[in-house]
Amino acid sequence: MGSASCCAGRGPAVLSFKTSEARISSDLTAPAVRRPGRAPSQGFVVALALCGLAGSFVLTPRERLETRTLPALFALRAREMSKQSPAAAALDSAALEHQIVSRYESRPLASLLERRVKDMGLADRIARAIVKESGRLQVAPSLLMGVLLTENPRLDAETVSSQGAIGLMQVMNFHAGEFDCESDDLLQVEANICHGAHVFRNYLTRTGNVRRALLRYNGCVASTNTPNCHRYPAKVMREANQVRRQLLLYQASHIDETE
């Protein structure tokens, strides 16, 4: 009796569920009836267009976009190089120095030396000799110039030290005639630079290290000849770095000439 009343009670509910299910199914399968819509009014279209035009004015930058000049891009490259590791930056700047000297030859160095000496002819001779020996011995011009400016900052080609070192690169007299130079006269600009560059290159080949080669060039083997001579390599490298920076600035200021 209880079960019969249970089943009897469920009859209308099941029927109602089936009826609802059938109605939902028919709603999903029946084609949608499209109601005719109204076209937007002309006033609405005009208002929409005006809104879009106003938005374009608002979003357009007020300031003119500037195109960087080549010198500015070069300066940016220099800043990027300063953020690199020291080894990568040194390699990159060395390659740039080689490109500058290959393109402009001795002119950048001559321009740099003219600020130190009034004799433009002497500045040009020194620059030409440095570039020549740099190419022949495969030593960076800035490094050779660093040695020269450390040894003889006043660029006195005829000076002789108390130890007997002669000329621009302070070459000892016993080196005269050792190398394939055009003259053995160490008071002559080109001969002195030729001898000095060869002496340094020989020490560099023997030691395989720039610092040790510079120490030997200065006669600082046992630190007895010159007080504090162990500081000599750092002085040379500071001068060489200054020279290299000046070469890069020369490139930046003359870059439009090659375009």
Which whole number is the average pLDDT over 182-191? 97
CATH class of 70-254: mainly alpha
Q: Are 210 and 113 in contact (CB under 8 A)?
A: no
- The pair phi, psi for residue 170, each rounded to 5°, is 50, 60
Q: Which two three-digit tokens encode residue 185?
A: 């006269």
What is the longest distance spanned by two Cα atoms in the chain? 137
**122 Cβ contact list (under 8 Å, min separation 6):** 113, 155, 157, 189
Task: Read off the pLDDT of residues 146-177 as tens digits, 9 standing for 90 and up.
Answer: 999 999 999 999 999 998 999 999 999 999 99
Please tell me the distance from the alpha carbon of residue 35 to that of residue 191, in angstroms, as a whole number: 102
18: number of CA atoms within 13 Å, CB side?
6
Burial environment of residue 146 by CB neighbours within 10 A (0 to 12, 13 to 18, 19 or more): buried
Domain spans in the chain, listed from the N-terminal domain onward: 70-254
- Give the residue, 28 or 242, on which the prediction is more confident: 242
Whether the pTM exceeds 0.75: the reply is no
pLDDT in tens, 85-104: 555 555 578 899 999 999 99
